[in-house]
Structure formats: structure tokens, C-alpha cells
Structure 1
Amino acid sequence: MKVSKEKAAAHRAAIIAAAARLFRERGFDGVGVAEITRAAGLTHGGFYGHFASKDALAVEAFDAAFARSVKRIAARAAPGGGGLPRYLDSYLSAAHRDDPQEGCPMAAVATEVDHQDATVQQGFASGIAAYIAAFESLLPEDGEGNGTNRRARAMLMVSALVGGMALARAVAKSDAALSEEILVGVHAQLLALAQPAACA
């Protein structure tokens, strides 16, 4: 039975969404095509009608995950969105730590990407670049107005966010107090670092 274009597009979107969740939850190598399509409510037989390979799916899944993260930043950067403090509250929370499948793709799978196909690596790099560019919008302008220092602060802060979340997750089950201390400590230091004078 032939599937309508609308239904095919919905199936494709469901596969991408399921892959984005499962890759963040269990890693790229921790989940296969059959499991992804099953999570999307489909059979794996039609997978290759939508994607040439698991790598091709990964590129689109990570693109969707990064787009979602960038949208969250934009919402915080908008007037009334709470700015950097609210974004840090959300990112460095126990809820984000305990639910990687709905969170930041960098904190979930960054250490795996260098072992993947070049197209996956390039897609992930593009996502990181977009995330850093968006994150800059949460930071105050530099005194000189050239943006260089703000970009440097954004890169350092994103690195601390991702590393802090990865460490908090790594110790959450064995040392909950240390996990919480990491989240709270990184939050406090990043608020201080946000000011231009911090990197002068």
C-alpha cells in the first residue's frame, strides 16, 4: 500500500525525533535502526526509504536536537525570557541531568562523535557553532563593542556547561552530593564569568 506524502513526512519526522531522543539517552552506538524505528511506532523495514544509513539519520537527528537547543536559548534571550540566569537554572538542573534524552546533545554524546563518520562529525560541528553563536546573545556586549571577548566568553562558558553536566551525570548515582555540588558550583562561576571584565 502506497503511503501519502504527508504520512511519509510524518513517519520521517517521527524517526528523527526518536533517534534524537535515543542517541542522547544511550549514545550513537547504544541504539540500532530497529530500535529507533520501533520507538517511532514504525517497523524498520521502511527505514531505508527515508534515510540512506544510520549516519544520515544521525546528522538529521543531531541537527534537530541542536535546533531545539538554539530555540531554547533564543527564548531566554528574548525580552522577558529571563536571560542567562534562567538559562543556567534550566541547563544546570537536576531535571536536565536526570533526563539526557530531552537535553543538550553536546553533554550527551560529544565524546562519541570523533568515532563516527565524517558527515556526522561535520553535522555535529555545525550544531556546536550554531549553539555558541546563539549563546553569545545571552551575554552582555563587550566594552569595545567588537564582540571578540564576548565570543571567547561564550566558548568558555559552553565548554563549562557541557563538561559540568557530563561530570554531574557521571557521578550522580555514586555520589549525589558531588553531582549537586558540580551543578551549583558551575552555575555560580558562569554567572560571574558572564561579565566582560571576567575575561579582560
Structure 2
Amino acid sequence: MQLGFREPAEPGFGVDGVQLRLPCHRSSVVSQGVALPTRSCLAKWQNEEDNWRMTVAAITAVLGGRKILKRRVESDRELTQLTREGVPVGALTLLASELALDRRTLARVIGISDRTLSRRLAKDERLSAEESDRVVRVARVVAMATDTLGSPAKASSWLQSPNMVLDGQAPLDLLDTDSGTRSVETVLGRIEWGIYS
């Protein structure tokens, strides 16, 4: 931790009033030996929390919302619980239609065999926790692509088209691994900031 003395803190931010710079580059005020976040740090955290709530809402919308998921999912904790218990197979069907893909292509990305998919669809079963995690991962990227590119149709087209930045691979083909997903999210972040990708 780097300690550095800065200008006195705003009134009401502690007795000592010394600010320090934390590794996350957020200012804190030292008050009685305890680092307290400044208002700007709290505002940034709150903004990130609001963004995550919007992300959870977008993910659940892509998965069919309360109608398909058969429960309300409004927080990361609730999304984690749903993932562990298993996402209903109907969410995979809806996600495939959102991407204008056949279910088998999406099942391949998620790592489900045709036979297993057919059985789950016939019995209207839930996916395993591992399969659900992959479905939620794909839904997160679909929501991000839709938000960044402006429409589900543009997101679907972009996800299925080869991308030079991704070594000529279609983003959808990289969503089977966490590291591939991060690469796709990085490219979407660049697009959002206006960097050619």
C-alpha cells in the first residue's frame, strides 16, 4: 500500500483527515488509523453496483425472465443460486432463438451433446450447474453485445461473424471457455469506447 499525504479531507471525514492512495487508485481518508472511502470512491462503487444490477436484469431478460426461469432473479446472489440449481432448458431454447441459431449449435458452444439436449427437452429438465454456468456466460455476452451494438439482430450477427481481432474466429466460438469469453468481452468493451475492433 502506498501512503501519500494529500490535501485535508472534506469536513466530516474523520479526525485525522489524512488521505491516502490505495492500490485501486481510490482515495481514502485515515481516521483513527482506519482507511475510510471518500465520497467519490463510494459513488464509483455504487455506480458499479448499479451497473451489475442492470447486467443481472439484462442476463435474466435474455434467459426469458421470470416466465422461463420461474423465479425472480435481481441480484448476483440470486443468479448464482439459479446457476447452482440449474437453469431450465427452456432458457437455452430462448437464447438460441435470440441468437437466430438452432439449438444444436448453441448446445455445442455450451458443451451439451445432441442426445442429452433432446432428453432434457423431452423431459423439460434443468441443466446441470456446469451447463447452467455456460448458459449464463453466453447470456451475459449476448446482453453486453446487444447493449453495445444497439439491437439483438446486430449482436447476433456480430457474435457469429469472424473477427480479425479474435484471430479470425467468430466470438460465439470462443464462449466455450472463460478466457475466450473474456477476450470477447474485451473486444466489446473496445467497441463501446469507440476503438476499432
TM-score using structure 1 length: 0.26
Bigger Rg over Cα = 2
Which fold has the larger relative contact order, with Cα–Cα distance below 8 Å and residues 6 or more apart in sequence?
1
TM-score using structure 2 length: 0.26
Greater strand percent: which structure? 2
Greater helix percent: which structure? 1
